[in-house]
Amino acid sequence: MSDCKTLRNKRIGITAIDLEQKEHRGIAAVTKSLIEILYKNGAEIFLITSVGSKSFKRGKINKLYDHIYISDALSSLQKGFEYRNEFKRNIKYAFKLKYKLMLSVFNLYKSNFNLKYQIHYLRENDKKKYMYDDRVNYIQYIKGLIHIENIFNLCRLRSMRLINKEPELNIIKNELDLIITSCPLSLKRKDSSSTEIVQIIHDAIPLQISTHPENPNIFYNRLLDAHMNSKCIYVSKESKKIVRGFLKFKSHKYKRYSVIHPSPSLNINQLEKALNIKTIRSINKPLILFNSSIVERKKVEKAISYFEKSDLVKRGFLLCIAGKMHQNKYCNYIKNICKDKEYIFLLDYVDEVEKAWLFLNASLLISTSYVEGFGVPILDALSLNLPTLASNIPTFKEIKKLNKSNLLELINLNEELTWKDKLNKTKALNINIKELKLIRINHFKHFIDKFENDLISKISSYI
């Protein structure tokens, strides 16, 4: 990365809706990477969050209360929440949330939809306690927290059309130079004197897949509100095409919307830590990696089937499936077809260093997804020059073009014989040879330099 810090002293707010969740999925990985890159290029990052403590409600916040608030907020981010599940199964929690939301809505109308906010600065000692926790080590790059009570729930109420206009952020330009949302929100800036809001649009998957847990009507409203009130960034040309198609935007309209590919979720610190780890989870054989959330659109069963029909099992390979196994019908189905198969490792959730180890030591990455907004695991593999077999979908084609000299092969999802043939040609990576992994790390360093410079150049254009 260039030594020239193009964002020096620029103050950027980033919403933490995905970072507040108990499970950090793809969007959280994108947000964490963005925070780190912006910080390394000189920006001061402020996390816009709804988590906090009772001390915020005391009115005037002195140093003691501020410290209590920050400790509570950081601990909440470290723990994470399962808002939807908790709302469904805990009557007491649901009642308290509804009551708090009623108060928040009342106050929102009272303030003419102007969201009240409080800026808190993090002390270095507060950050240090979280630097070695892979889940929240992004806190080391955070300058401060901007607490807005119930901001994301209020945005969702607007998406549900239970309130009649979008909540407004009136953070003035001398406090922040730019606000970035990590996903589309029903949110707007108050007026031209307020800080510009740029919204990241990942995909339209809840509108494409009937089994997606997100209500399609609510998600459509989120997309529409984001586009009508803010500048938008798409993570791929394909997501831009599909989202604009659903919203029925004409091609000549909304030229302010551009494509900025997310950065790899891996980073050099994690890779260097993983380099010195001999094994994780008792893995001691050549491995094929499947890294993704375990949901139907990923077609995990296809990856398992193609692996079993190849000669990889006979050659002593393991299939390592890294992704959170939820208590639902699809995950139970995957568990059942892997039952008593010692050559398949269902790793469930892996932390960031474990994930880096898997990518460094994999002989091949496999992805059988049939729809993606982008596909960060494929980008991660590309950044390391890790051999990859993936379904021939538009977003993966887009990733392939990011680096001409790549080892990414794309195959039509249902061409079983082709998958089998390509898998049979996989060469085993000896996980005991450190030099082979150093080659991947060096490739990553060269890849990430160019990638980050392009990303920063585009972000700078919004300030």
pLDDT of residue 83: 74
The reply to whether domains 11-259 and 268-448 share a CATH topology is: yes
CATH class, 268-448 region: alpha beta
Which amino acid does the sequence have at 311? D
Cα(207)–Cα(220) distance, integer angstroms: 7
**pLDDT > 80? residue 316:** yes
Cα(149)–Cα(230) distance, integer angstroms: 22
Q: What average pLDDT does the chain have?
A: 91
Nearest to 293 by CA among 26, 5, 13: 26
Other CB atoms within a 10 A radius of the CB of residue 409 amount to 15
Q: Residue 68 — very low, low, confident or very high, per pLDDT cuts 50/70/90?
A: low
Q: Higher confidence at residue 255 or residue 369?
A: 369
Which amino acid does the sequence have at 299? K
Cα(116)–Cα(48) distance, integer angstroms: 12
User: What is the arithmetic mean of pLDDT over 301-323?
Assistant: 98
Cα-Cα-Cα-Cα torsion 19, 24, 29, 33, nearest 10 degrees, comes to 40
- Our measurement of the distance from residue 411's CA atom to the centroid of its chain's CA atoms, rounded to an integer in Å, reads 26
Q: Residue 449 — very low, low, confident or very high, per pLDDT cuts 50/70/90?
A: confident
Query: Is the pTM higher than 0.75?
Result: yes
What percentage of the chain reaches a pLDDT higher than 70?
94
What's the pLDDT tens digit per position in 366-418? 999 999 999 999 999 999 999 999 999 999 999 999 988 899 999 999 999 99
> What DSSP assignment string belongs to 152-172?
HHHHHHHHTTSSSS--EE--B
pLDDT of residue 66: 64
From its phi and psi, is residue 208 left (phi > 0), alpha (psi between -120 and 50) or beta?
A: alpha
Cα(450)–Cα(335) distance, integer angstroms: 40
3 state DSSP class of 112? coil
Indicate if the alpha-carbon torsion angle 284, 288, 292, 297 is positive or negative: negative
* 130-135, long-range: CB < 8 A, 24+ apart: 130/74, 130/78, 133/78, 134/270, 134/351, 134/352, 134/353, 135/24, 135/78, 135/80, 135/351, 135/352
pLDDT of residue 318: 98
What's the pLDDT tens digit per position in 19-63? 999 888 889 989 999 999 999 999 999 999 998 755 444 444 455
**117, two tokens:** 């906010």
For the chain, give every domain's residue range: 11-259, 268-448
| Topology of the domain comprising 11-259 | Rossmann fold (3.40.50)
List beta partners, residue 180: 14, 198
3 state DSSP class of 282? coil
